């Protein structure tokens, strides 16, 4: 994670603030380690202390690199920290309300199930989730730092790679839910279908049965270990397995009749671009299933949080987002035991 963060930071004299609340040790310990690691990597960083956070209130705290440059010796021991309006914390923006022409600033905020309600990271440039002590995950990166999104691929592969072998042991009872979602997708015999972000291939037997011997099933995932687990589970014969990024599909325009996407689109750095890429490879009239074997509220509760009205998969947001990419939302179901949204490819994206 440290090497990924260093790669995301812009070149030059960038001041980095690491904000991690004290929640029993884990978040604070990770924040301390990242701040020290950034310093050892030659980046000017500061670990936000408890009294500084208390004084700041809801505002974002950022390091002022202009002040650091004026006195490098002083900044190494005690970098200048100033409070700014959250709207000013985007990459490349002003580092203080008093000096809007000042240089870059980067805020790295760590959150956990205990801290995310009070500090949800929306004003930060990089948000790291420490719910899993084995692998703190970079959940969001500001557009100005994200580059071409290679950080997302590295994070996904690292997170899912170490879990692939035990994935079916933990979630294997979801197979009937996957089969039911495939039935509701309405795939026709002879169709060409894609399982985007296939994981261990739990949808593949149902997709193969739906398209029949004349149909074609592609199973795509960005994590090699997940595709290996698909073969190990005996599902590899149901589809052609493809190692690729779902945001850049190695498929021709309008080459698919259906797309099944389980636990994928809401994890993409740019969800709108993700559904637009799925639209690109889908023929007019093609069907899309956005699925998860837990409902949104149940999944949020599992992670120790409650749903917000502006969640990406809420009906109010998902319908317009799909429409902008050329999809028509036909069905939306979100009971505790599953989430399923079904859409139809409806011509060209809206202007």
89-133 confidence digits (pLDDT tens): 333 333 333 322 233 468 888 877 666 544 444 468 888 888 777
Nearest residue to 82 via CA among 96, 72, 92, 93: 96
What DSSP string describes 183-237? HHHTPPTT-EEEEET-TTTTTHHHHHHHH-TTSEEEEEES-HHHHHHHHHTT-GG
Terminal CA-CA length for the chain: 39
Helices (DSSP H) in 72-125: which residue ranges?
Answer: 72-77
d(CA 106, CA 280): 34
pLDDT in tens, 218-276: 999 999 999 999 999 999 999 999 999 999 999 999 999 999 999 999 889 899 999 99
Domains of the chain by residue range: 2-147, 168-345
Per residue in 61-72, pLDDT (tens digit) is: 333 333 333 333
Q: CATH for 168-345?
A: 3.40.50.150
Joined tokens for residue 148: 């071409």
Looking only at Cα atoms, what is the longest distance across the chain?
71
pTM score: 0.79
Q: Are 194 and 260 in contact (CB under 8 A)?
A: yes
DSSP string, 287-301: EEEEEESS-HHHHHH
Closest CA to 155 of 128, 183, 133: 128
């Amino acid at each position: 994670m440290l090497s990924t963060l260093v790669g995301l930071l812009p070149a030059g004299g960038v001041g980095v603030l690491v904000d991690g609340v004290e929640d029993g040790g884990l978040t604070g310990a990770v924040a301390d380690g990242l701040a020290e690691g950034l310093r050892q990597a030659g980046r000017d960083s500061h670990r936000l202390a408890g009294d500084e956070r208390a004084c700041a209130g809801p505002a974002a705290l950022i390091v002022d690199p202009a002040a650091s440059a004026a006195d490098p010796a002083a900044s190494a021991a005690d970098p200048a920290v100033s409070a700014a309006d959250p709207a000013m914390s985007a990459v490349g923006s002003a580092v203080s309300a008093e000096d809007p022409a000042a240089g870059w600033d980067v805020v790295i905020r760590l959150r956990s199930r205990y801290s995310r309600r009070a500090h949800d990271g929306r004003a930060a440039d990089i948000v790291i989730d420490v719910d899993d002590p084995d692998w703190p995950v970079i959940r969001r990166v500001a557009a100005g730092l994200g580059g071409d999104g290679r950080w997302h691929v590295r994070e996904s592969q690292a997170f899912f790679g170490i879990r692939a072998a035990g994935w079916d042991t933990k979630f294997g009872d979801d197979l009937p839910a996957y089969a039911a979602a495939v039935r509701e997708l309405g795939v026709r015999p002879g169709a060409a279908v894609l399982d985007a972000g296939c994981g261990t291939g739990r949808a593949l037997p149902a997709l193969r049965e739906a398209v029949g011997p004349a149909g074609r099933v592609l199973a795509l995932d960005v994590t090699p270990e997940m595709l290996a687990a698909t073969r190990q589970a005996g599902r590899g014969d149901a589809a052609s397995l493809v190692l690729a990024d779902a945001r850049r599909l190695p498929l021709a325009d309008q080459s698919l009749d259906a797309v099944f996407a389980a636990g994928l689109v809401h994890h993409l750095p740019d969800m709108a671009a993700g559904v637009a890429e799925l639209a690109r490879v889908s023929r007019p009239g093609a069907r899309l299933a956005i699925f998860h074997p837990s409902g949104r509220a149940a999944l949020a509760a599992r992670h120790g949080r409650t749903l917000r009205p502006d969640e990406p998969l809420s009906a109010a947001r998902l319908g317009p987002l799909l429409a902008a990419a050329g999809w028509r939302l036909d069905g939306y179901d979100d009971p505790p035991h599953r989430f399923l949204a079904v859409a139809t490819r409806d011509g060209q994206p809206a202007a």
